[in-house]
Every structure is written in structure tokens, then in C-alpha cells.
Amino acid sequence: MNKDRALILDFGGVVTRTLFETHEETETALGLPRGTLTWRGPFDPASDPLWVSMQRREITERDYWMERTREVGRLVGEDWKDMKTFVQRARGADAELVLRPQAREAILAVKQAGLRLAILSNELDLFYGVEFRSRFPLMELFDVVVDATYTGILKPDPRAYERVLAELCLPREACVFVDDQKKNIEGAVAVGLPHVHFDVTQPADGYARALSMLGL
């Protein structure tokens, strides 16, 4: 058994498919005409000036998604005040739709090898909701979940990384942290935590690198 090593995953975008990747499903769920949603974030930055603004750190990730939440709510004639409403309305009861296939493979590989698993998220329950998370595939395989929805400590604050390491009871060099946001990777660098900057447009590559770093 290899309980002395761990894979630490961000949730949104790393474990889940992004909302950019599921525009067609969102349009179907909300009864919107195909092609209504045109912003594509990292898949086409030119289509999404608001995303570019977030990458420049002119606005936060939460700011970005709250603006998209309000925007999509208006498209269906409603006043949406939280990201959780957007996620639940866009994806309904189908939690399986959200799970990234490459994440499923990596999570199962890690558990089969006897390693530990953790989530370090800034907004897991804030965006997805407790009830949705309870239905999310493979969630029961995670040994530790640290969610800033409750801790109030957002990545890249060093305390966020230190907290998940403390709950895992492992040294940082025994762990690999995976996140799709550059600022959160910079936080990992600052605390000396091995890491993979996850490219949501190339998910298989990101997981392959993380597993390799863990010796899998």
C-alpha cells in the first residue's frame, strides 16, 4: 500500500468538465436555441473578453462566474443570484454528465494503487451545492475535502495548501497538486508543493503527468 502519497485535485475544471465544454447540454436543459452561448473561455479566449480579464487578474474567478450566472439567468427570464443555481439548472440531476472521463480513470487508478486522494477547492459547495456533491460519482473515494466555501481560505493563500497537507498528514513532497488556474499553481510553488498546471483543453496530458509524478 502507498498511503504515504497523495493526489490533490482542484474540483471545477479538473475533476469536472467545464461549463465551456457543455454549452450544447446547457442550451438543451434551459430551452435555449443552439448557439446561444458563445463564450468559450480557455477554448477560445478571443470569444470571451471577460475570461481574458480574469486571466489578467482584473476580476476574480468568482466575479467571472457570477457575471455569467446573471447573464444566463436573464436569457431565461430569471434573476439568478448564485453560481449554484446556474450549475444545477444547466446540468440538472445528471451528475454523471459533469465528471471528466480522464478524471474518472485517474481517480480509480490512484485508489487501485493504494494512494490517497484529496480535493482542494475554492468553491465546491458554493458552486455545486451539498446535494449535488452527495450524488457526484466517486466522491466517496476522496480521503480529504478542503473547501473554501467553509474554511474561507481561498487559494492561492498558503494556508489553503497547508491545511490539506495537514489533513492528509503527509509531507508536501509526497503529494501532487493539480489545478487549472495559474494563480493557484503559483500558490503551490510558493509553498513548495509539487504540482501540475492542468490544461482543460488537454485533460489526458495533465492527468498522465500527475500520475507519472506519483510513480504510476
Tell me the per-residue pLDDT of 133-157, one tens digit each, with 9 for 90 and over. Answer: 888 889 999 999 999 999 999 999 9
| Res 2: pLDDT | 61
| Res 128: pLDDT | 84
pLDDT of 122-136, one tens digit each?
989 988 888 888 888
Are the CB atoms for 43 and 54 separated by under 8 Å? no
Are the CB atoms for 95 and 50 separated by under 8 Å? no
Are the CB atoms for 177 and 187 separated by under 8 Å? no
What φ, ψ does residue 148 adopt, rounded to 5°? -65, -10
Pairing mode of beta strands 116-121, 6-9: parallel
- C-alpha cell read off for 182: 495559474
Annotate 65-91 with DSSP letters as a single string: HHHHHHHHHHHTT----SHHHHHHHHH
Distance from C-alpha of 111 to C-alpha of 116, rounded to nearest angstrom: 7
What φ, ψ does residue 6 adopt, rounded to 5°? -150, 150
pLDDT of 192-203, one tens digit each?
999 999 999 999
Local structure of 45: helix, strand or coil? helix
CATH code matching the domain that covers 6-16+99-213, chosen among 3.30.420.40, 3.40.50.1000, 2.60.120.10, 1.10.287.610: 3.40.50.1000
Pairing mode of beta strands 144-147, 195-197: unpaired
H helices then E strands: how many in the chain? 12, 5
- Mean pLDDT, to the nearest integer, of 179-183? 94
- C-alpha cell read off for 134: 452527495
Domain ranges of the chain: 6-16+99-213, 23-94
